[in-house]
Each structure stands twice: as structure tokens, then as C-alpha cells.
Amino acid sequence: MTEQFDGPESERLRRTHLPERRALLGMSVREADLSLGLDGAGGGLLDTTHFDTVRFPPPEWALESFAGAYADGNNAYTAYRGSSEVRRACAQSISSLMGIDIDPSRHIAVTAGTQSGLFAVLSALVDEGDVVVLADPEYLFVERMLRFLGAEVVRLPFVETEAGLQPDLDQLEALSRRGVSLYVTSNPNNPTGAVFTEETVVRLARIASEGDFTVLVDELYCRLVYDDTPYTHLAAQPGMTDRTVTLLGGSKTESLSGFRVGVVVGPGPVIDAIEQVLAMMCLRAPAYAQHVLTRWLVDDHDFVARRLVELQSIQRSTVAQLRTVPGLRVSPGAGTAYLWPDVSALRLADVEVARLLQDEAGVVVSPGYQFGPSGIGRFRICYAREEVEWARAVDRMTSALTRASRLP
């Protein structure tokens, strides 16, 4: 199947279409996305690809902080790596969160959302031909960014353990002996909701140190963890402060996505390189919005605690409803607000499942192919939605999937 796109595209952009996935999908990832209208707009359907920020709005202090910065015209322009005031506040709160000492002038960059931070980090660290190990499954845009940068991407699967899904560190250790420049993962994992055990994090740190490679870990959901599940920060492990780059932000747990601010924490030389990318890409994160980070991690502990209770309640009811579909398998993740149902028993292609749910349930889901080869036969939904509307939507989804399960 030949891709058809209007207008000129660079070779590096065409690489992001992941044409090699045609063997699994019958089309490139880009073609599959276009066929489903997955452009981020939702098409007027109930869109489960992101949080419902009406039902789960940001804390009241977010607007107060933004307005205060707006009222002071001196805040319109900041250093490329972010306001010095904001970085001082973040250094203190993130040091407390992660258990490491952070120098606000050297170890932090404020970015235009965590997505911008992700691209800036990869652009600063990855050269054409570098071997980068990427978790499988993993957030949908990471592989596309890596291919844009010309990296050789090796996917590292998760394995089922007594503690749930964990990265296959035996395979990572073997790969490290052949030469790896970077390992990219998220913890909690997007899309599975898996949380790495302390044992996993300790061993990952040892492998990275012995293999002399850097780890980029997206910890965007590190506060969205249920049932007091222990959480271990990789950068706090012995020897890892200088070889770990951590992505953080309030866009999900605290619903600050509309403010478009995130934080990168890492070694000084890496932050210096990231700053150069930010200067070329966007100059700086939205200057007024940066100031919401001065109260993030400080004034929102009760807010986050209430949110965890609400989200876990929705998670439990959603899992119970989905499990009524014959052949569908789904387990609640220990973190995030995502579910990762396995519908491979339906023997429908990912595109067909996603289109079925759009046409018959009025719901947009993230098809599993977006997250890597291991995602085939799955889809991701975000259940952070208004409860009554969501229960009706899940009823429509389960009805549609049940009908599909009965087809010959």
C-alpha cells in the first residue's frame, strides 16, 4: 500500500509514519491514524484519549498564579530554561518529591509541556544511528520522535511478574552489552498503568551504570498511584543522578494541561543542551503559565488525595463493566488513569476495533498499534471522565464489543 500525502515532506518526517509497521497493520501507523481521524480533535465524539478537564479541573490556585504573573509585566520574558523564580521553587519541591538535591540554576529546565520536554531531551541526546532502547508498549509519540531524529529503535517488552507488568531487564542487560546509548521508558507506564517495583528500579540503575548509558524516564504520573503502591524514583538511586533525565509535570494528575508547562530534571550538561533546543524550538515555556509551578507539589496534596479516590472508583466500575464482554481481558493498573484492554480474542484488527467503537459507541479510543508492536490487539482508554456520562459510554462500548464477539 502506497502512502498518499499532500504537500512536500522531509525524509525525516516520513520516517515518523512508521512504514515498517505495515507488516502488522497492512498500512503505516500514519495511514492508520488518518483512517480513524485521530488528529486530536475528537470529531465530536466522546474522546477517551485524554482527561476530562471539566469534570477534573485544575486547582483554583492555578489561575491565581497565572493572573499574578500576568499582572507583572516583567514576567513576560524569562531565560530559555525558565524563570529563575520558578526554577527555585521547583528545585525545592521536586527535591522533596524525588529525594535528591537539585540546583535550580543547573538541574532544571521548564518546558512547554512535558511533550516539548520529551522532544527537547531526545533532540539534545540522540544522534543519527544511535541505538535507543524503547519500552514496548510506550507513549505513542516517543518512537515517532526517535525516528525523526534518525535513531535505531529497539523495543523492550514488559514481562508479567507477581508484581504485575515489569520491563524485561534480562533483555535490557543483554542489549547493553552490545551497546546502547539511551533507554526510554515511563513509570508509571503509559499505556499499561504498570508501576515499577523498587527491585526493578534498583536493578535498572545497576544495568545502566554497568552499561554506561543514560535513562530517560517519564514520571508524569508518579503521583497518580493507587492503594499506597510504593514508588521509587530512578534518579535517587546510587550513581544515577548523573545518568538519569526525568520528565515531570502537572498536566495530568493536577489537570494543568491547558497551561502547557512541564519540567525536565537532569545533569547540568544535559540541561545546558536542552536549553539550546528550547531556544530554537519555542524560546521558552509560556512565561505567565510557568508560575503555576510555584504552587504545584506544594499546595495540592489534599487535592491529589481526593482525586486519587475519585479516579480509582471510576477505574473499578469501568473494569467491572468491561469484563462482561466475552473474551475481553483487562486488569486495573497500579497508576495513571488509563486502562489497556486486550480484545485480541475478537480477532479484529486494531483499526477495526477503534472504528467499531467510534461508529457504534460514539467513543474515540487510542488503538494499541500506536504504542508499539506489543499493543496490537489492545486499546487504551482514559477513564478520567464525568461518572454518569462515562458509565453510559462504557455500556455502549461493552454492547458493541459483545456484538462483535458473537460474529462468526
**pLDDT tens profile 317-350:** 999 999 999 999 999 999 999 999 999 999 999 9
Tens of pLDDT, residue by residue over 77-110, are 999 999 999 999 999 999 999 999 999 999 999 9
DSSP state of 345: G
Tens of pLDDT, residue by residue over 211-262, are 999 999 999 999 999 999 999 999 999 999 999 999 999 999 999 999 999 9
pLDDT tops 80 at residue 41: no
Q: What is the pLDDT of residue 1?
A: 38
Work out the number of other CB atoms within 10 angstroms of the CB of residue 352.
13
- What average pLDDT score do residues 270-277 get? 98
Helices marked H in 227-327: 268-281, 301-322
Q: What is the pLDDT of residue 43?
A: 81
pLDDT tops 90 at residue 16: yes
Distance separating alpha carbons of residues 344 and 327, to the nearest angstrom: 8
pLDDT tops 90 at residue 71: yes
Distance separating alpha carbons of residues 90 and 102, to the nearest angstrom: 9
Q: Parallel, antiparallel, or unpaired for β 182-186 and 152-161?
A: unpaired
Q: List 338's β-bridge partners, or say none.
A: 382
Q: What pTM did the predictor assign?
A: 0.96
Specify the amino acid at residue 115.
Q
Q: What is the pLDDT of residue 2?
A: 43
Distance separating alpha carbons of residues 182 and 31, to the nearest angstrom: 29
Distance separating alpha carbons of residues 82 and 87, to the nearest angstrom: 7
